[in-house]
Amino acid sequence: MLQVVLFNVTNGLIIGAFYVLMALGLSLILNLSNVINFAHGNFLALGGYTAFVLTPYIGFWGALLVSPLITAVLGLIIERLMIQRVYNRDPVYSLLLTFGLAFIIQDVCRYVFGPNGLPLGVPDAMAAPLSSDLFFITWYRIFNVAVVIIAVSGLFAFLRFTRVGVRIRAGTLDLETVAALGVNVRFLRSFNFGLGCLLAGLAGVLAGGQIGLNPNMGDDLLMPSFIAIIVGGVGSLTGTLIGGLLIGVAAALTTVVWPSGSEAVIYIIMAVVLILRPRGLMGEEGMLT
Amino acid sequence: MNSATTGTLASGRRSFDSRWTKLLIIWAVLLLAPLWLPLLGGYTALAGRVLVLGLAAMSFNLLLGFTGVMSFGHAAYFGLGAYGAGLTLKFLAASTPLALLMGTLLGGVAGAIVGLFIARRRGVYFAMATVAFGQIGFYIAYTWNDFTGGYDGLRGFSREPLHLGFTTIDIANNGTLFYYFLLFVFGLAVAAQGLMLASPFGRTLLAIRENERRARFLGIPIERHIWLSFTISCFFTGLAGSLYALLNNFADPMAMHYSLSGEIVIMAVMGGMRAFWGPLVGAAVFVVLQDYISSMTVNWMSFVGLLFVLVVLFFPRGLLGMLQRRGAE
Listed by start position, the domains of chain A span 2-276
In a 3-state reduction of DSSP, which class is residue A277?
Answer: coil
What are the chain A neighbours of B304 within 8 Å (beta carbons)? Answer: 100, 103
DSSP A36: -
Q: pLDDT band for B207, please (50, 70, 90 cuts).
A: very high
The pLDDT value recorded for residue B327 is: 66
The pLDDT value recorded for residue A254 is: 86
B312 and A230 within 8 Å at the Cβ level: the answer is no
CB B244 within 8 A of CB B255: yes
The pLDDT value recorded for residue B7 is: 45
The pLDDT value recorded for residue B8 is: 45
The pLDDT value recorded for residue B54 is: 96
A104 and B305 within 8 Å at the Cβ level: the answer is yes
What are the chain B neighbours of A38 within 8 Å (beta carbons)? Answer: 262
The pLDDT value recorded for residue B329 is: 56
From CA B209, how far away is CA A209, in angstroms rounded? 48
A114 touches chain B (CB under 8 A): no
What are the chain A neighbours of B258 within 8 Å (beta carbons)? Answer: 223
Q: pLDDT band for A279, please (50, 70, 90 cuts).
A: confident
Chain segment B221-273, per-residue pLDDT in tens? 999 999 999 999 999 999 999 999 999 888 888 888 888 999 999 999 999 99
What are the chain A neighbours of B308 within 8 Å (beta carbons)? Answer: 96-97, 99-101, 103
Count CB-CB contacts under 10 A for residue B195: 11
DSSP B89: I
Average pLDDT over residues A74-91: 92
A106 touches chain B (CB under 8 A): yes
**A4 vs B127 pLDDT, higher one:** B127
The pLDDT value recorded for residue B328 is: 63
Report the chain A residue with the minimal C-alpha distance to residue B317: A93
Residue A288 has pLDDT above 60, yes or no: no
The pLDDT value recorded for residue B10 is: 44
Query: Which of A30, A97, A111 has its CB closest to that of B124?
Result: A30
B121 and A227 within 8 Å at the Cβ level: the answer is no
- Closest Cα partner for A226 from B184, B8, B135, B105? B135
Query: Which of A86, A104, A289 has its CB closest to that of B120?
Result: A289
Chain segment A194-207, per-residue pLDDT in tens? 999 999 999 999 99
Chain segment A15-73, per-residue pLDDT in tens? 888 889 999 999 999 989 889 999 999 999 999 999 999 999 998 899 999 999 999 99
Count CB-CB contacts under 10 A for residue A161: 9
From CA A281, how far away is CA B266, in angstroms rounded? 33
- Closest Cα partner for B228 from B196, B260, B258, B256? B196
Which ipTM did the prediction report? 0.86
A92 touches chain B (CB under 8 A): yes
Q: Torsions phi, psi of A131, nearest 5?
A: -160, 175
CA-atom Rg of chain A in angstroms: 19
Using a pLDDT cut of 70, give the percent of chain B over it: 94
**Residues on B contacting A at a C-beta cutoff of 8 Å:** 64, 70, 72, 117, 120-125, 127-129, 131-133, 135-136, 139, 143, 258-259, 262, 265-266, 269, 273, 299, 301-302, 304-309, 311-313, 316
Residue A124 has pLDDT above 80, yes or no: no
The pLDDT value recorded for residue A287 is: 47
pTM: 0.89
A91 and B70 within 8 Å at the Cβ level: the answer is yes
Q: Helix-strand-coil percent breakdown of chain A, rounded to 5?
A: 80, 0, 20
B70 and A92 within 8 Å at the Cβ level: the answer is yes
The pLDDT value recorded for residue B39 is: 77
Residue B175 has pLDDT above 90, yes or no: no
From CA B15, how far away is CA B4, in angstroms rounded? 10
- Closest Cα of chain B to A81: distance in Å? 10
Average pLDDT over residues A131-157: 85
- Closest Cα of chain B to A219: distance in Å? 11
A272 touches chain B (CB under 8 A): no
- Closest Cα of chain B to A204: distance in Å? 21
Instruction: Give the right CATH number for A2-276 from 2.20.28, 1.10.3470, 2.60.40, 1.10.20.
Output: 1.10.3470
Sequence-distant (≥ 6) Cβ neighbours of residue B113 within 8 angstroms: none
Indicate the average pLDDT of chain A: 88
A100 and B306 within 8 Å at the Cβ level: the answer is yes
DSSP B41: T
From CA A35, how far away is CA A55, in angstroms rounded? 33
Q: Torsions phi, psi of A281, nearest 5?
A: -60, -50
Query: Which of B123, B258, B299 has its CB closest to that of A91?
Result: B123
Integer distance in angstroms from the first to the last C-alpha of chain A? 44
Query: Which of B129, B265, B312 has its CB closest to that of A230?
Result: B129
What are the chain B neighbours of A275 within 8 Å (beta carbons)? Answer: 117
Distance of CA B60 to the CA centre of its chain: 6
B309 and A97 within 8 Å at the Cβ level: the answer is yes
- Closest Cα partner for A226 from A92, A14, A26, A66? A26
Q: Helix-strand-coil percent breakdown of chain B, rounded to 5?
A: 75, 0, 20
Q: pLDDT band for B153, please (50, 70, 90 cuts).
A: confident
Query: Which of B124, B143, B305 has its CB closest to that of A100?
Result: B305
Contacts with B, A 29-48, CB within 8 Å: 30, 34-36, 38
**B9 vs A140 pLDDT, higher one:** A140
Report the range of poorest mean pLDDT among A221-230, B76-85, B294-303. Answer: B294-303
The pLDDT value recorded for residue A12 is: 81
Query: Which of A96, A229, A275 has its CB closest to that of B312?
Result: A96
- Closest Cα partner for B169 from B154, B181, B187, B153? B181
Count CB-CB contacts under 10 A for residue B322: 13
Chain segment B89-147, per-residue pLDDT in tens? 888 888 888 999 999 999 999 999 999 988 888 878 888 889 989 888 888 888 887 78
- Closest Cα partner for A63 from A77, A50, A44? A50
